[in-house]
Amino acid sequence: MLNCSSEPMRNASSPQPESLLLFILQRSDLEDRAKIMDCSLTSSTSRSWYESEDYIVILALGNDLTRILESHMDNKMAWRLYTPLYAASNSNEESLRAVTHTLVLNGMSPKPEDEDDFNQWYAEEHVPLLSSVPGWIYSRRYRLIQSSSFEAKVPPNYLAVHAWESEESFLSDEYKQAVSTPWRNRVVNSVTAKERYVLTSNNTADS
């Protein structure tokens, strides 16, 4: 069952939208990872980490990320803070912590004159098409509001986070259709910056 909302994202246990604090670390940055995983959390914050061959990505979701953010502002560490825009999920999202799954991060910066079309494409076409792909779990969209001065380059303005049961979904006809429409090609080909990470959960999370 698909649950969609264009309103700011909300956790069932919290009446406030959940912001996202994102750390993208090189695999060699084990000390930085330990600092993030050991820092104090508020009662309304959850944290998890994902990995690829080259990167470890740590995500913190919550209503008040101030404590985590303040503890890392002087550590010469790259971080990004996002505000929530949009969420869609199926009924399997609640069991996500218990299973290994794939997370895709897509960051893009549309031109100012294309921003409305960019957001409309995500809400009206892209996420609905992704939700029909076997193995899709959720899609969440965010807008960047602050980033560390230690980022190698300015991150894209928008971030989409897509959770999948496995990378096998990317081989399906439904997925190939979702990423090859004329509207999608027009939007993606006109952005001024983009990045993509394909990650695997390691079943480590705090709540």
Digit-by-digit pLDDT tens for the chain (207 residues) are 444 444 334 333 333 458 999 988 887 766 666 666 555 555 457 878 899 998 889 898 887 787 777 766 666 678 899 999 989 998 666 656 557 899 999 999 999 999 999 999 999 999 999 999 999 999 999 999 998 877 778 899 999 999 999 999 999 999 999 999 999 999 999 999 999 999 998 755 444
Residue 122 DSSP class: I
Residue 56: domain span: 10-206
Q: What is the pLDDT of residue 100?
A: 83
Structure tokens at 155: 């991150």
Domain count, the chain: 1
CATH number for the domain harbouring residue 82: 3.30.70.100
> Is 137 part of a structural domain of the chain?
yes
